[in-house]
């Protein structure tokens, strides 16, 4: 029996009424990818207020890797809320915070003594990691990447690329931020015709330490081992190894931003593990707590301890309810081997994508790692100009057919898939069928 069940015109009458209220009450700067108005969700399915059932290929932008509303996590939330909803880790200590810190210390791919600090969101955790790196090294500068996304606060927005969407009108930005090219093989001037990275981009990083900033002034290099908003671009493993060696040479803190790629999404707890590289700090959020607001920085104890007493703090960070959700979510990931499931999902998805690439000239590149996959659209086989129209239309056509999708990419010319890792094979195939249908309809309209 199909998972998707559309019972009314979309959006339905109840959804239309709520969307009208949204327009009147919510900032118009708050973007929404689809007009879906959710009432409830379970696993990989979302039911809207009019009773229509959708398949979710976004997982709340990678936030519900264990699926929507898993019963065990819901029970953990309920049980903790009955005992203690909030105290504030500044006021006192509660066991769920400590238990989660211990668990994250055991999971982080870092050797030696480790410690953790909990906060609310990925952006807040990134800022915390930068504070740690600056105090540990006594240096001000941070190197980041073209195509990077690290958040929307002033500092993390300064680290973020994609100016028009995320930064326009919000300056001036934080100083001592330096940007270098990311290893994006499909659009690399040196590598685009071979499809193989020759690591010329690493020479750009080395050159930046001559032309932009002296390495003795650099506190940290922050990198997404798989760029998220940038278009699901996995960094070559050898590139990550060279960054690690560079950081070691100059005493620079290496920060892995795993906010979107962490917690089994790529087939490992953290995507950097594929390369064998050990960062100094790992930033995590999103699927850490199955949809509850929680983030963390885990890293080498001497770096995490570097800020002065009272230098780090958060009113809601490490909330006991969110901590219990995280502990149960991690337990489910371990027990159900969601790392293996992510690899299976990725193999199935990329096999479909590669077939479509042969069929549709507008599909320029297909890529991913585990269940973090994307399609990049272009003008045609001989024209790699980013096609920004197709992804927007594909998302809309998917919605009309009961599939929730979202775009990505520096040029917003990618459609990414972030399915809940508990999705069944039948649900996955059904959703991929809808996605191909949407691509076919849009491609035909473009060609016609």
CA distance linking residue 234 with residue 374, whole number of Å: 11
Are 13-62+337-447 and 72-335 in the same CATH fold?
Answer: no
With a cut of 80, say whether residue 164 has pLDDT above it. no
Q: How far is CA 173 from CA 167, 169, 222, 224, in A?
A: 9, 10, 17, 21
User: pLDDT value at position 193?
Assistant: 59
**Cα–Cα nearest to 99, from 324, 334, 335:** 324
User: pLDDT value at position 409?
Assistant: 95
With a cut of 80, say whether residue 198 has pLDDT above it. no
User: pLDDT value at position 151?
Assistant: 95
With a cut of 80, say whether residue 220 has pLDDT above it. yes
Model confidence at 195, in pLDDT bands (50, 70, 90)?
low
* pLDDT tens by residue, 93-126: 999 999 999 999 999 999 999 999 999 999 999 9
**Cα–Cα nearest to 393, from 329, 319, 443:** 443
Domains of the chain by residue range: 13-62+337-447, 72-335
* pLDDT tens by residue, 245-261: 999 999 999 999 999 99
CATH code of the domain occupying 72-335: 3.40.640.10
Torsion angle, alpha carbons of 296, 299, 303, 305, to 10: 60
Kindly tell me the sign of the dihedral angle through the C-alpha atoms of 125, 173, 224, 383: positive
* pLDDT tens by residue, 401-443: 999 999 999 999 999 999 999 999 999 999 999 999 999 999 9
CATH code of the domain occupying 13-62+337-447: 3.90.1150.10
* pLDDT tens by residue, 376-389: 999 987 899 999 99
- Tokens encoding 40: 């409830």
User: pLDDT value at position 136?
Assistant: 99
Model confidence at 162, in pLDDT bands (50, 70, 90)?
confident
* pLDDT tens by residue, 233-246: 999 999 999 999 99
**Cα–Cα nearest to 250, from 215, 292, 289:** 215
With a cut of 70, say whether residue 448 has pLDDT above it. no
Model confidence at 447, in pLDDT bands (50, 70, 90)?
confident
């Amino acid at each position: 029996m199909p998972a998707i069940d559309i019972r009314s015109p979309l959006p339905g009458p109840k959804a239309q009424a709520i969307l009208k209220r949204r327009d009147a009450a919510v900032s118009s700067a708050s973007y929404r990818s689809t007009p879906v108005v959710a009432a409830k969700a379970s696993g990989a399915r979302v039911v809207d207020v009019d009773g229509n059932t959708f398949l979710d290929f976004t997982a709340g932008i990678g936030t519900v890797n264990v699926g929507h509303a898993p019963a065990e996590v819901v029970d953990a939330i309920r049980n903790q809320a009955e005992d203690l909803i909030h105290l504030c880790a500044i006021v006192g200590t509660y066991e769920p915070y400590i238990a989660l810190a211990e668990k994250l210390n055991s999971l982080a791919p870092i050797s030696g003594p480790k410690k953790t600090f909990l906060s609310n969101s990925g952006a807040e955790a990134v800022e915390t990691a930068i504070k740690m790196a600056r105090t540990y090294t006594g240096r001000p500068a941070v190197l980041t990447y073209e195509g990077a996304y690290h958040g929307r606060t002033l500092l993390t927005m300064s680290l973020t690329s994609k100016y028009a969407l995320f930064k326009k009108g919000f300056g001036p930005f934080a100083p001592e931020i330096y940007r270098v090219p990311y290893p994006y093989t499909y659009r690399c001037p040196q590598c685009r015709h071979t499809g193989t990275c020759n690591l010329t981009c690493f020479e750009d990083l080395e050159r930046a330490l001559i032309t932009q900033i002296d390495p003795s002034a650099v506190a940290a290099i922050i990198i997404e081992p798989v760029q998220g908003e940038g278009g699901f671009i996995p960094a070559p493993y050898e590139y990550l190894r060279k960054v690690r060696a560079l950081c070691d040479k100059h005493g620079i803190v290496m920060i892995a931003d795993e906010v979107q790629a962490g917690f089994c999404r790529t087939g490992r707890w953290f995507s950097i593990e594929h390369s064998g590289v050990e960062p100094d700090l790992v930033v995590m959020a999103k699927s850490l707590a199955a949809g509850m607001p929680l983030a963390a920085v885990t890293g080498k104890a001497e770096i995490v301890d570097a800020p002065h007493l009272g230098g780090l703090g958060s009113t809601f960070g490490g909330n006991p309810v969110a901590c219990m959700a995280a502990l149960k979510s991690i337990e489910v990931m371990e027990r159900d081997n969601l790392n293996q499931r992510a690899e299976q999902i990725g193999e199935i998805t990329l096999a479909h994508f590669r077939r479509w690439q042969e069929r549709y000239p507008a599909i320029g590149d297909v890529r991913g790692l585990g269940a973090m996959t994307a399609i990049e659209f272009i003008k045609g086989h001989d024209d790699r100009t980013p096609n920004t129209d197709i992804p927007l239309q594909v998302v809309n056509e998917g919605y009309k057919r009961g599939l929730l999708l979202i775009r990505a990419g520096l040029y917003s010319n990618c459609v990414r898939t972030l399915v809940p890792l508990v999705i069944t094979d039948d649900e996955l195939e059904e959703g991929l069928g809808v996605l191909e249908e949407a691509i076919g309809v849009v491609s035909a309209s473009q060609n016609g």
